[in-house]
């Protein structure tokens, strides 16, 4: 598949490498060219090598997609300063980059950093999370972005002392020439055997944890704690991550479908929750908390939504999230605006209370920095923090890894977007670990909270158990 005219792209990269040779230090050289109709995520899945990282991000209703393969550079960190460390690494390479072809193009084109962060500062401790660092943002060798009905390909090379940029460029040229645009595979309707599904902890223990959380909240000091549970789906053959991604973007077109892949596994999901979108001095986010199921009967579905809007328990849970987000942004912004009352966000199997929030930043802050300032919101952590975090560690007894952490991308101008990694699964060969949680307030009912996690698990579990 000839996605691009290779010669002009390589000529631009060669010219940049020659200019970089006069600098002495490491220099990012990047070139962007338009491409014909392309499915960025399909290209990434079908063209990636088994040993390299890859990243896919798509919100079909918005017409935006980003696919990335390989690693020209990366930033890895851990601990409480991991967002600042990564933001500094990205800025140091992007700020002095020699970029051609990306001027005036939309956010997401040109050199773009992709990846995510674990929920906890030191990341996942269990073996299944070993290839997912507490913080990882990667500058891919090749990325494709599609927005507004147009698509662009970007190629990146880092030049500098001790780096054979010419050799890397030759390899990159071969990679670009061999890119494939095959369609994503369909999920196999029948497996040769049954998928085993089990909870890592008995559901009754989750209910007990919810009951204990409500007692602690009633005792004072906490207003909300988010507790999650984990379900493992073990298939008779390896799960097909590409087919899963293709299915979820079809089923949840308004959500952020994402996939962060390593040589050992893939973290994939379809999240309804935007953590932030930065565009210059403008920032937008959404407070999302309070949930109920959907119905195929429109009248019943509307009734369920109306019940959710009138639910004192869910409105209380939602108010805690919205209030903290607004309070956090006021420290960073000239102004912050939030809708006075929540509305409904409806996806295929669930509906949520949602309050859009927009702000104008008082000073420049990158998308990665902003993710660190907002994470974790009470939608996935609790209030107040870090007291809620101590309760989670005590009651949840689960390694969240990247679940409920920020996942997304940031371009060379430091614009970008991150979602909260919900409705997600960690997939390693035949094993898929799925995660779902709920916000616990004083009025929470343990059985109802367990049922809510089942609804949320219903986003991906049916696709993995086919």
Q: What is the pLDDT of residues 130-142, one digit of tens each?
A: 999 999 999 999 9
Residue 189: pLDDT band by 50, 70, 90 thresholds? Answer: low
Paired residues of 408 in beta bridges: 115, 418
- DSSP code of residue 185: P
Give ∠ CA 252-258-260 in degrees, rounded to 5. Answer: 155
Residue range 3-14, pLDDT digits in tens: 777 888 999 999
Indicate if 273 belongs to the active site.
Answer: yes
Tokens of 453: 């996690």
Q: What structural domains does the chain harbor? A: 6-177 (no CATH), 196-262+273-464 (3.60.120.10)
CA distance 349 to 351: 7
Residue 21: pLDDT band by 50, 70, 90 thresholds? Answer: confident
CA distance 417 to 332: 17
Residue 441: pLDDT band by 50, 70, 90 thresholds? Answer: very high
- Judge residue 243's burial from the number of C-beta atoms within 10 Å of its C-beta, 0-12 exposed, 13-18 middle, 19 or more buried: middle
Tokens of 49: 């090598």
- What pLDDT is attached to residue 158? 92
Q: In the predicted model, is pLDDT for residue 191 greater than 60?
A: no
Distance of CA 181 to the CA centre of its chain: 23
Q: What is the mean pLDDT of residues 335-350?
A: 93
Tokens of 17: 């490498």
Q: What is the mean pLDDT of residues 65-79?
A: 97
Among residues 158, 28, 50, 155, the alpha carbon closest in space to that of 94 is found at: 28
Catalytic residue selected from 224, 317, 383, 396? 224
- DSSP code of residue 61: G
CA distance 220 to 390: 15
- What pLDDT is attached to residue 187? 86
Q: In the predicted model, is pLDDT for residue 118 greater than 80?
A: yes
Q: E strands of 118-255, at which residues?
A: 135-139, 142-147, 150-159, 196-199, 224-234
Average pLDDT of the chain, as a whole number: 94
Tokens of 232: 């493992």
Pairing state of beta strands 333-338 and 274-279?
unpaired
Tokens of 161: 């002392």
Catalytic residue selected from 273, 317, 319, 452? 273
Q: What is the mean pLDDT of residues 183-205?
A: 85
Residue range 144-170, pLDDT digits in tens: 999 989 999 999 999 888 778 788 888
Question: Is 28 within 8 Å of 97 (Cβ atoms)?
Answer: yes
C-alpha distances in Å from residue 120, one per residue of 14, 79, 400: 42, 8, 8
Give the global pTM.
Answer: 0.95
Tokens of 326: 């607004």
Q: What is the mean pLDDT of residues 416-434?
A: 97
Residue 238, C-beta contacts closer than 8 angstroms, at least 6 positions apart: 429, 430
- What pLDDT is attached to residue 2? 62
Q: Could you count the other beta carbons within 10 Å of the beta carbon of residue 312?
A: 9
* Range with the poorest average pLDDT among 33-37, 234-238, 391-395: 33-37
DSSP per-residue codes, 25-48:
S-EEEEEEEEESS--HHHHHHHH-
Residue 192, C-beta contacts closer than 8 angstroms, at least 6 positions apart: 236, 237
Q: What is the mean pLDDT of residues 302-310?
A: 95
CA distance 179 to 174: 9
Indicate if 306 belongs to the active site.
Answer: no
Considering the chain, what percentage of its residues have pLDDT values greater than 70?
98
Virtual torsion, Cα 93, 96, 100, 106, nearest 10 deg: 70
CA distance 290 to 456: 12
Q: What is the mean pLDDT of residues 237-248?
A: 95
Paired residues of 75 in beta bridges: 137
C-alpha distances in Å from residue 423, one per residue of 160, 263, 278, 420: 41, 22, 23, 9
Q: In the predicted model, is pLDDT for residue 190 greater than 70?
A: no
């Amino acid at each position: 598949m000839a996605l691009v005219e290779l010669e002009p792209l390589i000529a631009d990269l060669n010219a940049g490498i020659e200019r970089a040779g006069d600098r002495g230090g490491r220099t990012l050289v990047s070139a962007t060219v338009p491409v014909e109709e392309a499915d960025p995520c399909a290209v990434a899945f079908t063209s990636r090598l088994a040993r390299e990282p890859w990243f896919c991000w798509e919100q079909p209703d918005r017409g935006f997609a980003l696919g990335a393969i390989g690693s020209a550079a990366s930033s890895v960190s851990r601990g409480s300063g991991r967002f600042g460390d990564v933001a500094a690494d990205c800025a140091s390479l992007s700020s002095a980059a020699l970029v051609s072809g990306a001027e005036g193009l939309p956010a997401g084109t040109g050199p773009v950093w992709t990846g995510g962060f674990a929920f906890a500062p030191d990341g996942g401790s269990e073996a299944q999370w070993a290839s997912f660092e507490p913080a990882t943002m990667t500058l891919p060798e090749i990325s494709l972005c599609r927005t507004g009905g147009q698509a662009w390909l970007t190629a990146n090379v880092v030049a500098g002392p001790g780096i054979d940029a010419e050799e890397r460029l030759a390899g990159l040229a071969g990679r670009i020439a061999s890119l494939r645009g095959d369609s994503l595979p369909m999920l196999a309707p029948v497996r040769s055997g049954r998928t085993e599904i089990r909870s890592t902890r008995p559901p009754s223990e989750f209910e007990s944890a919810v009951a204990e959380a409500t007692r602690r909240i009633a005792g004072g000091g906490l207003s909300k704690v988010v507790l999650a549970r984990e379900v493992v789906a073990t298939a008779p053959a390896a799960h097909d991550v590409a087919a899963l991604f293709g299915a979820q973007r079809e089923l949840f077109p308004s959500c952020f479908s994402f996939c962060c892949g390593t040589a050992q596994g893939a973290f994939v999901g379809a999240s309804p929750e935007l953590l932030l979108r930065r565009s210059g001095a403008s920032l937008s986010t959404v407070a999302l908390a309070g949930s109920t199921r959907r119905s195929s009967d429109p009248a019943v579905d509307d009734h369920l939504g109306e019940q959710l809007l009138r639910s004192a328990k869910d409105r209380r849970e939602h108010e805690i999230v919205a209030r903290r987000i607004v309070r956090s942004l006021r420290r960073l912004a000239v102004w912050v605006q939030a809708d006075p009352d929540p509305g409904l966000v409806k996806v295929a199997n669930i509906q949520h209370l949602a309050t859009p929030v927009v702000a104008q930043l008082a000073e420049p802050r990158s998308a990665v920095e902003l993710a660190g300032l907002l994470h974790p919101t009470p939608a996935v952590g609790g209030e107040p923090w870090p007291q809620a975090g101590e309760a989670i560690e005590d009651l949840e007894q689960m390694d969240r890894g990247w679940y409920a952490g920020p996942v997304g991308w940031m371009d060379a101008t430091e614009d970008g977007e991150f979602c909260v990694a919900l409705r997600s699964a960690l997939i390693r060969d035949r094993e898929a670990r799925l995660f779902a949680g709920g916000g616990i307030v004083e009025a929470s009912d343990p059985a109802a909270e367990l049922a809510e996690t089942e609804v949320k698990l219903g986003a991906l579990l049916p696709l993995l158990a086919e």
